Structure formats: structure tokens, C-alpha cells
């Protein structure tokens, strides 16, 4: 499917090209087999990796002049970078004559864009490698710190609830888990074949991956998201994120299609789930070991995350409560592992083309893609230059809407990539998401107050 991951890195100071290249030559990335191998085909068409020498100058593309496009004249640096990324998404494939990665340096905007083919790894692998090459600004010898998962308070609360359960509740819970898994797996199979969402103002489909793109950025404060999650017992940042997406999409559809969308209409999102035993970012040295239990590469499953359209006037926190209830059921299911095993089985029995077709079908039959990667909680530097932001997106998805959230130093930036002929105003959509979080924050503050 030629999916390419784009990581946009804002720099605090002007970028020194020579020092950046010298840093790259000694980085862990250059020493990784995938990053110094060509993707080649034998006479029968089978693809495999072949080691080669890496010429840094072929991989680092420097643009000294300010980035301008017909849509970005007179705009901010952020808008110009987004326009540049949108152009890369559909018009500039990676050359197979060199390893499948490159770095574009936009010197005028103080921004570097890492372009990495998805064949080299998934979001967790690649972010782990990137952060292993960085150091904290306040301690140049220390690696970046990543926030842990659940808080001790949540863990102790869950332990108390488990101890209070009687045998009847345990049996009932097991039966419900089995039933939920069956429902989720049947839903996944049907979505892979022919069942699809109803058409709305944000629906894509087959061929849309080739359409021109636009990008916008929705910006959130992690403190706001943490305040909102406290309003619902045991809620997580992912619950808040999906509640924000649910509310924001409802507001956007009210704007684009007033009175044209049926109440309760389902819009299905597709999310990628890390299947490694250790959740979150990984130790790169362990990932690179052949006998490691957590392997390098693409090790994720897919889950369907439905949201439902509701007209204005509903309590903003009700979106969070529905999101939490749905995600809690997904956590108890094996849907992500099931999707991975199905893809692996199809690959083994029918080959890569059939597996690709199956993945493409489920992308076409859902409305949007969403991901969330936890970033460092400290300010970090690459080649000695402190970063101001981290933003990610990817290309070649038939969705008209894809959202990728990355957190960094108390903020969370969500890159919104759209097919501009379907969603012409991604900036307004980003504003809908930002205002959705603020509405939830106000509702949560009112509950805390009383």
C-alpha cells in the first residue's frame, strides 16, 4: 500500500546541516538493518531486504528557501509546513534505489520532516528508535522520559473492585467477555468484506488515497485532558481523546450537513493497537535482538472504534462516558490479536496481494483512522537542537479523514489529514475538536465545583 509515516519536528534554533548529518552517521538508526537495506525483488517477484552502504547526502534533502505553495503565501510557518506535508503525502513516493527513508529539512521554518516507509516499522518501533537518538535538554546525558500508563490510584481502585467481586459476578463477567469477543470478531469480518458506514460529509473510499490532501493541527493541553478524565471514574487519556473526536465530529457534521444526518448514525474509526507484551515505547536494544520477545517491525492489530452522531445540546461529558464504555469492552476483547492473526493467516495461505486487499477493504469500509503515541514529558534535543513540537501523520489511506495524536512536554498535537475535495476546511474541523475539549473541561469543572 506504500504507506509512508511523516514525523514533523520543530526546532528551537536554526538547523546546522553539517552537525545534523554527522549526528545521523553515528546514530542508532543508521546501524539498524532495515535503515541500511534496499527493498529488492527477485525474478519471481518476491521482495526481500539487501544490505547496502548508506549515503547520508542522498537521504537528507535541504530546502534553504522558505516553503511556499499556492495556498500558503502570506501564511504562518505552521501552515506552510502543513501544506508541504500535504504535498508529500500524494506526490512524492520514496525511491527504491536507496533505503526507504529520508529527511527533509525546511531551514526557513526550522522544521525537519522524517519520511519513513511503514515497511521499516510501526509507530511504536520508530518512535522508540527516534527517542533513543535524542537527549533531554535539562540533562544531556539522559534519555527522554515517557509517562507511565495507569496511575497508582487507578490500579489500587481496580484491585479493590476485583476483591469485592463474588463468584456470580465473575461468571457473568466471563460470559459477557465471550459474547463481546464474538460480536467484535463477527463485526470485524463483515467490515473486511462488505459492511460499510453510511455516506456522510467526511466519508472517503476506494481511490481517495490518491486525492489531494490538506493538513491542519488541533492543539490540546494535557492538563485539560487530565482534568476531564477525572470527571469520569477510571477514565484514561485515550477515553478523553475519543470523546473529543465524537463530540467534535458531531459539531462538524452539524456545520456541514445541518438536519441531514440521522441522530445516532454510526461512524466507525479504525485504530492500531500495539501487540507487544510491554505496552508503550520500547527499549530499542531489546527490539533489535533476534531472540527478543518484543520484535522489531510491524506488530500491531486493528480495532474498530464506533462513534455516534448526536445533535447539539447534549451533555459534553456523555460523549466521554460512551467512549469509555466502548473502549473498556474493547480492552477485554481479543479483537486486535484476532485481526493480526487473520492477516497473518491470509498472508501465509494466499500471499501478500490478498492480505493487502483485505486491509484495503476494511479501510474503505470505515470512516476514519486514528492513532495516539505517547511522547516525552521533558523537552528533548536532536543533534543538540531543542525541539518545539512533534507531529505525525501518514499517507496512502483511502480515508478522507485521518487523525494522529502525539504528546510532547504537556501538550498534545493532533495532525488532521483530509482529502480536501471532501473536507475542504480541516482548520474548522480542528477548531471543533479544540472546542469540544474546552466544553468537556467546563462541564468537568462544574462537577468538581459542586
With a CB cutoff of 8 Å and minimum separation 6, the contacts of 5 are: 114, 115, 116, 117, 118, 123, 126, 392, 393, 394
Binned average pLDDT, 10 residues per bin, the chain of 450 residues? 90 93 86 89 86 92 75 68 91 87 94 93 84 88 72 49 61 71 80 87 92 96 94 91 95 89 91 73 56 65 89 88 90 83 88 87 93 88 92 92 94 96 96 96 82
Give the pLDDT score at 299. 79
Last residue of a domain, one of 84, 109, 136: 136
Same domain, 185 and 273: yes
Say how many CA atoms lie within 13 Å of 288 toward its Cβ: 15
Give the pLDDT score at 69. 54
- In DSSP terms, which residues pair with 215 in a beta bridge? 417
Catalytic residue numbers read 118
Same domain, 227 and 344: yes
CA dihedral 17, 137, 377, 221 (to 10 degrees): -80
Same domain, 190 and 76: no
SS3 234: coil
Cell numbers found for residue 310 = 448526536
Give the pLDDT score at 193. 81
Q: Strand 37-41 vs strand 111-117: parallel, antiparallel, or unpaired?
A: unpaired
In a domain, 157, yes or no: no
Contact 60, 16 (CB under 8 A): no
Instruction: Write the DSSP assignment of 95-120 as a string of letters.
Output: PTTS-SEEEEEETTTTEEEEEEEGGG
Same domain, 54 and 98: yes
Give the pLDDT score at 73. 44
Location of C-alpha cell 501552515: 79
Same domain, 125 and 180: no
Give the pLDDT score at 152. 47
In a domain, 85, yes or no: yes
The number of folded domains in the chain is 2
Per-residue pLDDT of 390-416, as tens digits, reads 999 999 899 999 999 999 999 999 999
Per-residue pLDDT of 260-274, as tens digits, reads 888 889 999 999 888
Range of the domain at 116: 4-136
CATH code of the domain containing 70: 3.30.559.10
The C-alpha atoms of residue 435 and residue 248 are separated, in whole angstroms, by 8
Same domain, 181 and 232: yes
CATH code of the domain containing 179: 3.30.559.30
Same domain, 119 and 207: no
With a CB cutoff of 8 Å and minimum separation 6, the contacts of 93 are: 2, 4
- In DSSP terms, which residues pair with 213 in a beta bridge? 419
Same domain, 297 and 351: yes
The C-alpha atoms of residue 427 and residue 7 are separated, in whole angstroms, by 20
Contact 409, 379 (CB under 8 A): yes
Q: Strand 37-41 vs strand 47-51: parallel, antiparallel, or unpaired?
A: antiparallel
Same domain, 92 and 209: no
- Distance of alpha carbon 153 from its chain centroid, rounded? 27
The C-alpha atoms of residue 35 and residue 114 are separated, in whole angstroms, by 13
Specify burial of residue 219 (Cβ count, 10 A radius: 0-12, 13-18, 19+).
middle
Location of C-alpha cell 492500531: 272
CA-derived radius of gyration, the chain? 22
Question: Closest Cα partner for 4 from 77, 92, 67, 71?
Answer: 92
Cell numbers found for residue 195 = 459492511
In a domain, 232, yes or no: yes
Same domain, 192 and 238: yes
Helix, strand, coil: what percent of the chain each, to 5?
A: 40, 20, 35
In a domain, 158, yes or no: no
In a domain, 162, yes or no: no
Query: Residue 280: left if φ>0, alpha if ψ -120 to 50, beta else—which one?
Result: left
In a domain, 411, yes or no: yes
Counting DSSP H helices and E strands in the chain, the numbers are 13, 15
Instruction: Write the DSSP assignment of 293-346 as a string of letters.
Output: SS-SS--EEEEEEEEE---TTS-HHHHHHHHHHHHHHHHTS-HHHHHHHHHHHH
Give the pLDDT score at 287. 58
Global confidence as pTM:
0.88
Give the pLDDT score at 201. 93
Amino acid at each position: 500500500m506504500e504507506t509512508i509515516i511523516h514525523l514533523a519536528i520543530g526546532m528551537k534554533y536554526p538547523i546546522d546541516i553539517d552537525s545534523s548529518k554527522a549526528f545521523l552517521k553515528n546514530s542508532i538508526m543508521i546501524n539498524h538493518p532495515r535503515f541500511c537495506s534496499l527493498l529488492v525483488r527477485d525474478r519471481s517477484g518476491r521482495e526481500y531486504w539487501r544490505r547496502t552502504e548508506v549515503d547520508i547526502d542522498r537521504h537528507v534533502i535541504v530546502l534553504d528557501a522558505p516553503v511556499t505553495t499556492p495556498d500558503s503565501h502570506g501564511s504562518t510557518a505552521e501552515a506552510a509546513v502543513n501544506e508541504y506535508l500535504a504535498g508529500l503525502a500524494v506526490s512524492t513516493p520514496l525511491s527504491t534505489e536507496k533505503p526507504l527513508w529520508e529527511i527533509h529539512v525546511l531551514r526557513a521554518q526550522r522544521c525537519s520532516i522524517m519520511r519513513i516507509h511503514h515497511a521499516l516499522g510501526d509507530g511504536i518501533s520508530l518512535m522508540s528508535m527516534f527517542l533513543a537518538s535524542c537527549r533531554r535538554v535539562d540533562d544531556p546525558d539522559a534519555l527522554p522520559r515517557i509517562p507511565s500508563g495507569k496511575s497508582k490510584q487507578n490500579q489500587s481502585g481496580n484491585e479493590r473492585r476485583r476483591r469485592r467481586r463474588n463468584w456470580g459476578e465473575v461468571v457473568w463477567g466471563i460470559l459477557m467477555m465471550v459474547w463481546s469477543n464474538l460480536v467484535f470478531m463477527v463485526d470485524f469480518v463483515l467490515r473486511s468484506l462488505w459492511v460499510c458506514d453510511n455516506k456522510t460529509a467526511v466519508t472517503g473510499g476506494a481511490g481517495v488515497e490518491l486525492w489531494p490532501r490538506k493538513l491542519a493541527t488541533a492543539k490540546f493541553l494535557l492538563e485539560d485532558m487530565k482534568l476531564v478524565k477525572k470527571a469520569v471514574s477510571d477514565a484514561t487519556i485515550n477515553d478523553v481523546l475519543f470523546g473529543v473526536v465524537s463530540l467534535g465530529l458531531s459539531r462538524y457534521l452539524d456545520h456541514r450537513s445541518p438536519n441531514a444526518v440521522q441522530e445516532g448514525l454510526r461512524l466507525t474509526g479504525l485504530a492500531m493497537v500495539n501487540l507487544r507484551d510491554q505496552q508503550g515505547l520500547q527499549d530499542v536494544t531489546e527490539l533489535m535482538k533476534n531472540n527478543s520477545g518484543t520484535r522489531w517491525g510491524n506488530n500491531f492489530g486493528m480495532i474498530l472504534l464506533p462513534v455516534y452522531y448526536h445533535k447539539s445540546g447534549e451533555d459534553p461529558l456523555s460523549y466521554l462516558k460512551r467512549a469509555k464504555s466502548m473502549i473498556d469492552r474493547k480492552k477485554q476483547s481479543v479483537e486486535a490479536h484476532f485481526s493480526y492473526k487473520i492477516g497473518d493467516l491470509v498472508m501465509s495461505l494466499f500471499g501478500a496481494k490478498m492480505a493487502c486487499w483485505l486491509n484495503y477493504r476494511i479501510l474503505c469500509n470505515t470512516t476514519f483512522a486514528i492513532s495516539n503515541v505517547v511522547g516525552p514529558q521533558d523537552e528533548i534535543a536532536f543533534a543538540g537542537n531543542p525541539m518545539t513540537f512533534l507531529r505525525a501523520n501518514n499517507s496512502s489511506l483511502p480515508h478522507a479523514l485521518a487523525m494522529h495524536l502525539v504528546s510532547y512536554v504537556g501538550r498534545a498535537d493532533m495532525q488532521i489529514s483530509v482529502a480536501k475535495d471532501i473536507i475542504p476546511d480541516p482548520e474548522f474541523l480542528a477548531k471543533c475538536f479544540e472546542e469540544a475539549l474546552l466544553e468537556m473541561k467546563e462541564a468537568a469543572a462544574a462537577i468538581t465545583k459542586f
